[in-house]
Structure 1
Amino acid sequence: MATTRRRMHLGFTIWPTGFLPGAWRLPGSAPDGNSNPRLLQAAARTAERGKFDFFFIGDRVVGLTASQYAAPNEVLRPEALTFAANVAAVTERIGLITTVNTTYAEPYNVARALATIDHLSGGRIGLNVVTGKNEEAARNFGRNEHWDNTRRYDWATEFIEVLQRLWDSWEDDARISDTETGRFVDENRVHRIDYKGEFFSVTGPLNVERPVQGQIPLINAGASERSRELGARYSDLRFTNSSVLGLAGAIEYYSDLKSRLAAVGRSPEEQLVIPGIAVYTAPTSQEAHELYARLHGLAHRTVDLGKLSGALGLDLAGADPDAVLGDVADLTAASEEGTLIVAEARELWGKDDITLREVNSSFQRRGWFKEIVGSPTGIADVLEEWFDKRAADGFMIFPPHTPDGLDAFVDLVVPELQRRGLFRTEYEGHTLRDHLGLARPENRFAAERARHDAVAER
């Protein structure tokens, strides 16, 4: 009997100034990308043209100018819910995942906004839950301190519980709109939630009908134990940076996340694991490596020889940063980790004779997400291997520069994935749940009434 091949899921994350810190300096890029509606909307349409599952919008509630050289995209951020609503209006099929920092938000407002966007988009919104890492955020919201990890996750857990109850507070058929009787709603199908927890006391119901998707898909990231626990219980998609662990490490990470689901009554198919990957591609491998070198050359980066020496296990004190590494150090004396760092840098730069500056540049980006450089077939080979070996259910694509990096992936890599039968050629559904292969949940109040009626009939 023929079996249908498992299909890869792809998301595009919008970093308007580019994944690489100096990418906004490249001719054709948009330094004003975070406030440029033409670029932001065009990026969403391009991802939709590539049949991506979703367009991912990150958020941050602080703007730190000190981050401008390492992460300029974190200095300016459009508010994510507003951004998602805008993009929904100019797209038709692609899912839209927006971010909310639950530590500095109220669940009723968030539930209402997301349910509204879900209706306006035809069921395409998803929520990425973050608890925030920046201590500076507290002072933007009248607090004296940023809560510790335990309190933030306790708060986030209640936050999600309130959201899900509010989204169910209207049953699917609660609005009857009976023109004969003039009865607009069936009040027996609209419910107070009467939630009382440690942090929240919410009566409900919501004043927006149940979302098109029933429950809006939830996403979370993070490697801490609390993050993994929350993800196992609530998340439909886990966004990870497990790509930096290497293939073997990513397989182990994937297995750990999937193994946690049974304990909360879920199957492995009910949650997708999507690591981030930064992709540098061009028609040929040589051109892709030239792009990598050009973009890394635009970064504002000094070489800390002390830090690099420690990372490689070599004494590089006093060396010329532009000297070839092999000319100033005995690479056979490098530590095991240092040998791996050098090998990765050589692969990324596409040459053996890398300089200290070049290996340092790759090393400093190493902890973000795995970077891959190559032709469309070379990129597809890597993605296919990771996918087939169960290191991922798909990938969040980080183009190094915007908009050309996304265009290159859509025009070059996506057709190769489609040729291999790994990725869709057309959307088969209309909602984000459809794209992710997730069932629409039953309404909890309707289910309870059905159980009550069944018992009464016995």
Structure 2
Amino acid sequence: MSEPARRMHLGLTIWPTGFHPGAWRLPGSRNDGNSNPRLLQHAARTAERGRFDFFFIGDRLVGLTASQFAAPNEVLRPEALTLAANIAGITEHIGLITTVNTTYSDPYNVARAAATIDHLSGGRVGLNIVTGKNVEAARNFGRDQHWDNEHRYDWATEYIQVLQLLWDSWEDDARVADTVTGQFVDPDRVHHIDFEGKFFSVRGPLNVERPVQGQIPIINAGASERSRELGAQYSDLRFTNSSTLGLDGAREYYADLKNRLPHYGRSASDQLVVPGMAVYVEESQRAAHEAYTTLQRLLETSPVHRARLSEALGVAVTDAAPDAPLAEVADLAQLSDDGRRIADSARELYGRERVTVAEVNASFIRGGMFKEVVGSPSRVADVLEEWFSTGAADGFMIFPPTVPHGVEAFVDLVVPELQRRGLHHREYAGTTLREHFGLPRPLSRFATTPVGAAAVGSGR
């Protein structure tokens, strides 16, 4: 049997108390996931056992207690670069994508830290570039305002340019270590970058050797036009929430991202598009629906949520009893097109025709973040395969609703099914994150500079 041309790229995103906000309230669950090294390390090792391409570490610079009911993981959050370094020491193969907020950090420090982790991990780190969204973060860094979208992306563009120049400032063979002459470094192969842009003035060079991967992979997300263009120019992987658009919408989104690449001299294979999927999997369809229902009952809702549901359905359910079946309080024939999709999705997720107003409300709230898939291993694999094989995704970022059970369930139940179908590899084909992504190691931009010549980078 011949090997398939494409393999599904899988990443595990770590929300230490579980992606579902009620997960930590289940009997036997942990509520200290954000500061529990054993739990975090176990999740990474489990993903590595499942031959995931990468372990994704999100980050946030504020801890708002008001977020605790909708997103407890956003209240407490381990610092991403530090966690990536820790995970590098206890894993051997899995890539480590660590989030960096460019609006509130300095490119020299980040280039140095990322290059260090790349060496410590043997070439397994990637940087997820975010520009932030919280005004509270601005006040943590001595600013009165959080910059607007255009300013943040102008800044982020220069920031990435500086990162990449600094990673190239040491040529691969700059450390000669000649024991006969005593020369340790060839100064002609270590370069000032002399970057002068609108926001940054950086001379260089870095004081860490060129990363194992040459250039550390760049990842970004976001649906704005600026985000899409930044990704088209620089990103090796685009993380999306296009799963919320439905299969047809996700295909259109995928095509849009891929079609932007040639403008920057890139091909479709130069960038992976990976939507997020929240996966509830158990050994049977019935058990998966029961697990989903149990978690959804722990979801805290408000009158605001019910009002939004009424607007989306096209019929008023604001005053209806939460446990009333939707069909008894609303004329289903009067539902809007979106309303019918919302009701149909709730029936599919709960695994029954008769769903209550509270259940539809809960599934509507959670479905606005990423597509939720509930079912047996074969059912989950069917969904992933359809999206992967019909132009909607190159792979998926998996959001386990619970940790560690949700991680273990996906690896033990879904991964073998994907492998059986030839969609997911059984062994790692390479050792670096670039190799996991199928990307070549680039030459240093300074390597072609004649020895002794000045090498200058500019943001203008």
TM-score tier, shorter chain, comes to over 0.9
Q: Distance in 1 between matches of 2:342 and 2:27?
A: 30
Q: Distance in 2 between matches of 1:375 and 1:402?
A: 18
Mapping for residues 53-452 of structure 1, pairs under 5 Å: 53-302=53-302, 304-449=305-450
- Confirm or deny: 8 A CA contact 2:4 2:422 kept in the other structure: no
Q: Distance in 1 between matches of 2:353 and 2:127?
A: 43
Deviation at 1:316, TM superposition (A): 2.2
Structure 2 residue 34 is the aligned partner of structure 1 residue 34: yes
**Helix, strand or coil: the match of 2:147?**
coil
Q: Distance in 2 between matches of 1:364 and 1:409?
A: 23
Q: Distance in 1 between matches of 2:189 and 2:418?
A: 46
Deviation at 1:3, TM superposition (A): 6.7
Q: Distance in 2 between matches of 1:80 and 1:33?
A: 14
Q: Distance in 2 between matches of 1:262 and 1:407?
A: 39
Q: Deviations over 1:366-413 (max 9, x none)?
A: 210000000000000000000000100000000001000000000000
Q: Distance in 2 between matches of 1:390 and 1:186?
A: 48
Q: Distance in 1 between matches of 2:448 and 2:272?
A: 26
**Residue identity in the other structure for 1:398:** F
**Helix, strand or coil: the match of 2:18?**
coil
Deviation at 1:188, TM superposition (A): 0.5
* Cα distance, 1:312–1:449 mapped onto 2, change above 3 Å: same
* Cα distance, 1:423–1:3 mapped onto 2, change above 3 Å: closer
- Confirm or deny: 8 A CA contact 1:23 1:299 kept in the other structure: no
What fraction of aligned residue pairs are identical, expressed as a percent? 70
Deviation at 1:299, TM superposition (A): 1.8
- Confirm or deny: 8 A CA contact 1:95 1:431 kept in the other structure: yes
TM-score, normalised to structure 1, is 0.97
**Residue identity in the other structure for 1:281:** V
Q: Distance in 2 between matches of 1:256 and 1:396?
A: 19
Q: Distance in 2 between matches of 1:27 and 1:372?
A: 23
Q: Distance in 1 between matches of 2:330 and 2:362?
A: 18
Q: Distance in 2 between matches of 1:179 and 1:379?
A: 58
Count of residue correspondences: 451
* Cα distance, 1:317–1:123 mapped onto 2, change above 3 Å: closer
Q: Deviations over 1:180-235 (max 9, x none)?
A: 11000111000000001010000000000000000000000000000001000000
- Confirm or deny: 8 A CA contact 1:5 1:421 kept in the other structure: no
- Confirm or deny: 8 A CA contact 2:325 2:356 kept in the other structure: yes
**Residue identity in the other structure for 1:17:** T
* Cα distance, 1:393–1:196 mapped onto 2, change above 3 Å: same
Q: Which residue of 2 aligns with 1:11?
A: 11
Q: Deviations over 1:41-67 (max 9, x none)?
A: 111000000000000000000000000
**Residue identity in the other structure for 1:91:** T
Q: Distance in 2 between matches of 1:375 and 1:305?
A: 30
Deviation at 1:306, TM superposition (A): 2.9
Deviation at 1:2, TM superposition (A): 5.9
Aligned Cα root-mean-square deviation (Å): 1.2
**Helix, strand or coil: the match of 1:279?**
strand
Which one is further off, 333-342 or 20-29? 20-29
Q: Which residue of 2 aligns with 1:455?
A: none
**Helix, strand or coil: the match of 1:216?**
coil
Deviation at 1:330, TM superposition (A): 1.1
Q: Distance in 2 between matches of 1:317 and 1:169?
A: 61
Deviation at 1:327, TM superposition (A): 1.2
**Residue identity in the other structure for 2:226:** R
Q: Deviations over 1:161-187 (max 9, x none)?
A: 000000000000000000111000111
**Residue identity in the other structure for 1:12:** L
**Residue identity in the other structure for 1:246:** G
Deviation at 1:308, TM superposition (A): 2.1
**Residue identity in the other structure for 1:358:** E
Long gaps (5+) in structure 2:
454-460
Q: Distance in 1 between matches of 2:290 and 2:322?
A: 20
- Confirm or deny: 8 A CA contact 1:5 1:422 kept in the other structure: no
TM-score, normalised to structure 2, is 0.96
Q: Distance in 2 between matches of 1:68 and 1:22?
A: 10
Q: Which residue of 1 aligns with 2:458?
A: none
Q: Deviations over 1:260-290 (max 9, x none)?
A: 0000000000000000000000000000000
Long gaps (5+) in structure 1:
453-458
Q: Distance in 1 between matches of 2:442 and 2:278?
A: 33
